[in-house]
Amino acid sequence: MKLAAPLVAFCLLASVATPARAQDGLEREADVLAFVGEHQPELAKLLEALKPMNAKEYRKAIRELASARDRLVELQKRNAPRYPLLLDAWKARTRVELLSARLAGEPSAEAEAKLREAIADGLDVEIRLQRFEIEQAETAARNHRRTLERLESDRDGTLEARFRAAQPRKKIQRAKKGAEGNAAPVPSAKAPAPGGNRR
């Protein structure tokens, strides 16, 4: 089974820890095949060949790929700028795994060259990802510095504002009513005496 061997090796190497969403099995399989067909066509061909040859390994591959896809889809929702980098990392990693398994089954100079190229591509993706992470960390550090400067420059004002906000509402209302009760009464205008304006 020359076609099945690379995929079996890939299934053993791929690791994901995200729980799978509950959905119909056939629908889920179709989603996985569409995802793999778009991002790793070579793997999609191996899946297609594996299905009639070894149903058990095929189902295992679909489960593991479904988990990988779910993790990437969730990442796309939570952190869109990071998503393409991690997708490229997944593509590079799976390609290295496929080529490594192929080299083990059919050694050749051409296979070695392809594997070396795939590893180089993976390193380039890793470099881009590390640069992105550093940029994100530097942005976060700048935001933390601004927050720190604001807190230090107006510590007393922030303390008073938070102290007032933390007081029970009833106590504040009683204090307001007490202040209103202690206020000096406003003299009212005297009504004219009966007949006072008669001429």
Domain boundaries, given as residue ranges, for the chain: 4-150
Tokens of 142: 């700048």
Can you give the pLDDT at residue 16? 36
Mean pLDDT of 70-90: 93
Instruction: End-to-end CA distance of the chain: give it in Å, rounded.
Output: 126
Q: How many CB atoms lie within 10 A of CB 158?
A: 13
Q: How many CB atoms lie within 10 A of CB 35?
A: 19
More confident: 124 or 9: 124
Mean pLDDT of 173-177: 63
User: How far, in Å, are 16, 48, 51, 165 from residue 4 at the CA level?
Assistant: 21, 10, 9, 66
pLDDT of residue 1: 42
CB 35 within 8 A of CB 119: no
Tens-place pLDDT, residues 102-113 = 899 899 999 999
- Residue with the larger pLDDT of the pair 189 and 48: 48
Please name the residues in contact with 126: beta carbons below 8 A apart, sequence gap of 6 or more: 89
- The pLDDT value recorded for residue 10 is 47
Looking at residues 127-147, what average pLDDT do you find? 96
Q: How far apart are CA 114 and CA 108, in angstroms?
A: 10
* Whole-number pLDDT of residue 176: 62
**Mean of the per-residue pLDDT values for the chain?**
81
pLDDT confidence band for 129 (50 / 70 / 90): very high
Confidence of residue 193 (pLDDT cuts 50, 70, 90): low
**What pLDDT is recorded for position 21?**
45
pLDDT of 19 reads: 44
Rounded Cα distance, 195 and 86, in Å: 95
Q: Is the pTM of this model over 0.85?
A: no
How many CA atoms, within 13 angstroms, populate the side-chain half-sphere of residue 105? 15
Single-letter amino acid code for the residue at 129: L
- Distance between CA atoms of residues 28 and 129, nearest Å: 29
Q: What is the pLDDT of residue 26?
A: 85
CB within 8 Å of 14: residues ≥ 6 apart: 64, 65, 68, 94, 97
